[in-house]
Structure 1
Amino acid sequence: MTQIIRSLAEVGTHYDVLFCDLWGCLHNGKAPWPAAIAALQAFRAGGGRVVLMTNAPRPWKYVAEQLDRMGVPRDAWDLVVSSGDAAQDAMFAGAVGRRVWAIAQDKDEGFFTDIPEEWQDAPPIQRVPMTEAEGIVCCGLFDDLTEVPEDYRTRLILSRERGLKLLCANPDVVVDLGEKRVYCAGALAEMYQNLGGEALYFGKPHPPIYDLARRRLGIDDNARILAVGDGIATDIPGAAGEGIDALFVTGGLAAAEFGPDVENPDPAMLEEWLAMRAEAPRYSIGRLR
């Protein structure tokens, strides 16, 4: 049974490191939540370290710049690790070939052009039409404000028939942009698999992003880590797979499932919902605070 807590401070002293999700926990895609920022600042003031772990399909520095523009202070975190970092490493290693059909927006440009130091001497990645590609790199829909995955069905069927692998730079299926729910790269990867294609994942809940976070922070297997997130298909199973505790933020993607008070989830509704999904995070909280 998950333990519902009122604040991170109730359990924070039991942990050395937070792997904290962004969208749905620290901000809503447009603005940060002050209480969440204060919780992270307090955790760091007590000696803890905070890794902002996100399934954003861009290298970490672009995520950090976005947080700066939102007004998230730098003293709320130590490190940003993104799905884009882990997926970019795989792309430059040639996981889907070097001639790729890129499903991406202008904001994802850095994923292709900001070459990590360790890959400076690697053969270049060329973006080509789908009919000339060796593989697919999916950072998200071309226009996530107007498109849905079904708009891609024909192109994905043709890609499957050509035997192309799809590298998914963001395993999230949906996120809430303010009050609007939009589809992410994970939705296209899921559709591609359902059509019989092969998709490769590197963000949560898959191991590469966790391995990358540990390496960059310089921690070993003895570090006490708490994963904080609102993704029942990403953050929570990802933590379980890594053998670390999880704090489920119920007021994120699934906020409507636990009663009218977002800050105070109904215990019975929460337990039933978690049981139906066979997930058991150690802690739950309405909103990170």
Structure 2
Amino acid sequence: MSDRPLTLMAVHAHPDDEATGTGGVLARYAAEGIRTVLVTCTDGGCGDGPGGVKPGDPGHDPAAVALMRRQELEASRDVLQISDLEMLDYADSGMMGWPSNDAPGSFWQTPVEEGAARLAELMRHYRPDVVVTYDENGFYGHPDHIQAHRITMAALEMTGLTPKVYWTTMPHSTMRRFGEIMRELHADMPEPEPQAQPEPQPEPEPAEAAAPAEIGLPDDEITTWVDTLAFSEQKFDALAAHASQGENIFFLKMGKETFGELMGMETFVRVKDSTGAALPENDLFAGLR
């Protein structure tokens, strides 16, 4: 047991998600000699194609997009010095309400037990000390993020392993600052992806028309604040490696200095722990070393 390196496993939905929410911790802990394992659940085939062609438009080839995004993910992995990359390669389900949600073989249509069983095998192999994924709303309601949450929590139950488990989040103070920066840069800039709303459904009932779950958390509800400022350039470069999706990665539009100011702290909610480490904490591995 003493010869086994401390291990972080991050379970993400698409290529580029690893950089957005956890690029800092992946780079920081890799630099500290911790084994970093990235599990990417989908192929990203619902992303933009060459020239920015959108899913469903003429010329959009999901298989070609998936191949391109795999290559970009490998480049991001190199930037972040991720030890191990595992692809579950489910078909990207697209945004909530898209027809691709219902496609056979999409991640959203995959039984949770099936995805969880595959992830459980990876957990048994790597035996992570820390597992990071999304909350039950997938942070902002994307079906593949929600499904990644579901299979991660189910896989943990299947294995009986007891790592520290975290869900990514963002403090409301950072969300406000992000909005300010966006307005300072470009008054006409589209809203950032985390604020995207699901497409309207036909004739919603009043309850369905209510606002979706609020994104992020009040600052005082965040349990874990990890300083990754020293690795913010790596995080920026990892995001930039996903060049085909640049139109959708709004963080890249602010430049490295502003990016570091806004994204140099990564925040989480600790949901499972057997170490007794005090909260709030500033290290995902508090109590483990």
TM-score, normalised with respect to structure 2:
0.39
* Structure that is richer in helix per residue: 2
* Structure that is richer in strand per residue: 1
